[in-house]
Amino acid sequence: MEVRDRESAELIRSQVSQRRLPRGALRAALLRVPPAARDAWLDLVFEVDGLPDDGPELPRGCVPYLPCAVEVLLRAVQAAQIDADDVFVDVGSGTGRAAAAVHLLTGAEAIGLEVQPALVESARALAARLNVERVTTILGDAAELTGSMRAGSVFFFYCPFSGERLARVFAELEAIARQRPIRVCAVDLPLPQVPWLELAAPPSGDLAVYRSVTPASPGTARSRR
Ligand SMILES: C[S@@+](CC[C@H](N)C(=O)[O-])C[C@H]1O[C@@H](n2cnc3c(N)ncnc32)[C@H](O)[C@@H]1O
């Protein structure tokens, strides 16, 4: 990595840990790094080195840890129009990298749900290192943690699981969407076909972003964010 990029990573890390990161500074700094080096650059900011092993707690049929690419996170933030008023829920949050990145990019509160205890520990250690309060991680099977999703306004799925588990989580999202508009970001994951979600933007690569639509009542238009 270029010396200039190393220096910018150090500057951003120090601004984050001192809670002096100007709004928009992480995105601006990331965009100055060549695209192929952005993931390594973010890992430098987060002081993350290498991929953790998966543990025996990963249920059968669920997907092991793989961090989402920074490019995809940047596109998700834009397409879902995530801002500081949002609560971003990363369903299957691994080491908390995506949750922390989205929080720092947007100011949104971020909640990770993760089934592997060692990854939850890493995520909590990352939040402590970064000195961020509005990034938390809850340990458990996301399909059993639906109560913890209720505060969410944006839900992020980097293919943690599919099938019956995904259907259970979607039943909860539908209940939330009946109360208020939500967005759903899906990476590398075909979502169940449901009438209460529509594409918020044309799909881009592996990423599709949806927004909820509420069922029309007689004489009213469907509402959306
Ligand atoms: C492909 S990784 C994505 C990690 C993170 N969201 C990111 O984008 O960087 C999928 C993650 O989902 C977690 N996972 C799989 N099944 C899960 C479940 N039932 N409940 C909670 N987390 C789960 C895995 O342990 C893994 O960390």
pLDDT, one tens digit per residue, over 13-66 is 999 999 999 999 999 999 999 999 999 999 999 999 989 888 999 999 999 999
| Ligand 1 pocket: which of 161, 172, 184, 185 to mutate (most atoms within 8 A of CB) | 161
Calpha distance 105→46 (Å, rounded): 13
Q: Decide if 103 contacts 88 (C-beta within 8 A).
A: yes
Count other C-beta atoms under 10 Å from residue 46's C-beta.
21
Q: What share of the chain is helix, strand, coil (3-state, %, to 5)?
A: 40, 15, 45
- 122-146 tens-digit pLDDT: 999 999 999 999 999 999 999 999 8
**The amino acid at 100:** A
How far is the centre of ligand 1, averaged over its atoms, from the C-alpha of 104 (Å)? 20
Q: Kindly indicate the confidence band of residue 1, based on its pLDDT and cuts at 50, 70 and 90.
A: confident
How far is the centre of ligand 1, averaged over its atoms, from the C-alpha of 106 (Å)? 22
Domain 51-212: which CATH number of 3.40.50.720, 3.30.2130.10, 3.40.50.1370, 3.40.50.150: 3.40.50.150
- pLDDT of the residue at 215: 57
How far is the centre of ligand 1, averaged over its atoms, from the C-alpha of 98 (Å)? 11
- pLDDT of the residue at 217: 46
- pLDDT of the residue at 30: 97
Q: Kindly indicate the confidence band of residue 219, based on its pLDDT and cuts at 50, 70 and 90.
A: very low
- pLDDT of the residue at 224: 52
Sorted by sequence, the CB contacts under 8 Å of residue 41 that are 6+ apart come out as: 1, 5, 8, 9, 30, 33, 70
What global pTM score does this model have?
Answer: 0.94
- pLDDT of the residue at 150: 95
Q: Give domain limits for the chain.
A: 1-50, 51-212
**The amino acid at 159:** C
Transcribe 33-46 into DSSP letters: S-GGGHHHHHHHHH
